[in-house]
A and B are shown apart, each in its own frame.
Chain A
Amino acid sequence: MNLAFSWDWLPRLLQGLGLTVELTALSMAMGAFLGLVLAVLRVYAHGLLYPLYLLASGYVHLFRGTPLLVQVMTFYFALPSVGVRLSPFVAGLSALTLNTAAYQAEYFRGAIQSVRAGQMQAALALGFSRLQAIRYVVLPQALRLVIPPWSNELIYMVKGSAVVYLIGVLELMGQAKNIAARTFRNFEVYLVVAMFYLALIFVLTLALRWVERRTRVPGLGVPGRA
């Protein structure tokens, strides 16, 4: 086995790494926004808003119940038959975003529901509207609680974004596949790519731990660690 790394690969792999970061960051950010809305609907949409609850639940069920790979392929290869032609990047980003939104919705829901019911009652008693209570009392607590499971999802998405190479997006995995196809140096190429992913996730893990520490409120929070 010849373990020499060719420096010619580096610019392409770095370009791929950049696209992986871009895909992950954009899909996580948009997914967080959508997921938060879904979670709030899943917890608070009662009475007249019940159809919204059903819609949100159906969405979560649909996107958690089908493989990410199927979603990516559908967005790219199936939508053109109904006249929607997305570029590889947009199709991949859309599928990743809608997929992670469903998972994030469940993490957010869990966090919202772990905020004690008394908090909402106290806020209402103080004259907050329901929406204000959610915005100013429940969510600030829930968002702190959600950081550990949410970082899990972030790490998953860094790696999950690799599936979009199948629709021709040249992120890290796509670049690696193309280099390996030409050089037959699969072992070295994928070893380097694995180290890239590992390094990226290491940095993200440190960053998230920092965020978790910075946002911690004394007296509140994770049982046993408060």
Chain B
Amino acid sequence: MALRRILVGLVVFGVVSLSGVAAEKFIVASDVAWPPFEWVSAKGEKIGFDLDVMRMIAVLEGYEIEIQDIAFDSIIPAVIAGKVDIGASGFTITAERAQVVDFSSPYWTSDQTVVVRADSGLNVVTALLPGRKVGAQRGTTGAFWVEDNLIAQGVAVELVLYETYPEAVMDLLAGRLDAVIQDQAPSEQAVQQYAGQLTIVGIIKTYEEFGFLVAKGDPKGILPRIERGLKVLKETGAWDNLIAAYFGPSLEAVEAAWEACIDVLRVGKDPVAYAACLAQKVRELSK
């Protein structure tokens, strides 16, 4: 019986991988340490809002994707070098970046937030005084904001840059930083995860818009397909369900829901039903 199951499994696997050879495949680069946009679940799966959007559009547009976990500041160079096809990692559309890569239309808006330790007594002004140690992730608009609007203006905070966002949060918790500057949703996620230890003391209205990015000139013609996919997701309500599932609930609830629903997308190839399943499961688990 077990042997038969293995044989059936091998045949199925063989068919799937054979069809995989024929299908178009794009490599999606993401810095998978930035919940809720992308993170590695307790079971080792790469999940998150950006990654699910990429998976759902891939199903809609009939191509396959492979997600590669790459340091945030290395994603654009990898796209430029043609090592990967798509950057999906909460990239703010900026003029600097738009000179070297092409962006999709915006899919998210975000502001920067100032996170401090709850017991530090700092406020948004005192947290950013000269001499304060301020952490940010390398290559992010949060880091650029500190460089351009504090340091370049003569407010000599000490900017410490990290490879990943969780490392900055850990250093804040360890007392080696006074504040961390980061996009709103990941900051709220961190505050939720370390309830009582961290707090958001201020929102910096930067009005940033996130986009998916590809190589300059879009040589593989990916952007129109992403646009089409985004449009379908928004029109069918899948988009709203995805937002409801990922923004707000605890990571544990999202991970459990994702485990329960992902086959609807992977096997069932139905993005709309998948998003509905995810939203409903998360709601149930959050009660």
B-binding residues in A (CB < 8 A): 77, 80, 85, 87-88, 166, 168, 177-178, 180-182, 184, 186
Contact = CB atoms under 8 A, between A and B. Distances in A.
B202 interface: no
B77 A180 contact: yes
A87 B133 CA distance: 12
Contacts of B171: 77, 168
Contacts of B162: 168
Given A77-B170, A177-B73, A184 B138 contact: no
Interface string B73-89: 10011001000000000
Decide if the interface of chain B is mainly helix, strand, loop or mixed.
helix
A85 B100 contact: no
Contacts of B161: 168, 177-178, 181
A181 B171 CA distance: 21
B111 interface: no
17 contacts: A80-B170, A80-B175, A85-B175, A85-B176, A87-B176, A166-B163, A178-B138, A178-B161, A180-B73, A180-B77, A181-B73, A181-B143, A181-B161, A182-B96, A182-B147, A184-B76, A184-B96
Chain B interface size, as a band, is 20 to 34
Decide if the interface of chain A is mainly helix, strand, loop or mixed.
helix
Interface of B: 73, 76-77, 80, 96-97, 100, 138-139, 143-144, 147, 160-163, 167, 170-171, 173-176
A85 B174 contact: yes
A180 B138 CA distance: 10
A19 to B, nearest CB: 14
A186 B77 contact: yes
A166 B161 CA distance: 9
A88 B161 CA distance: 11
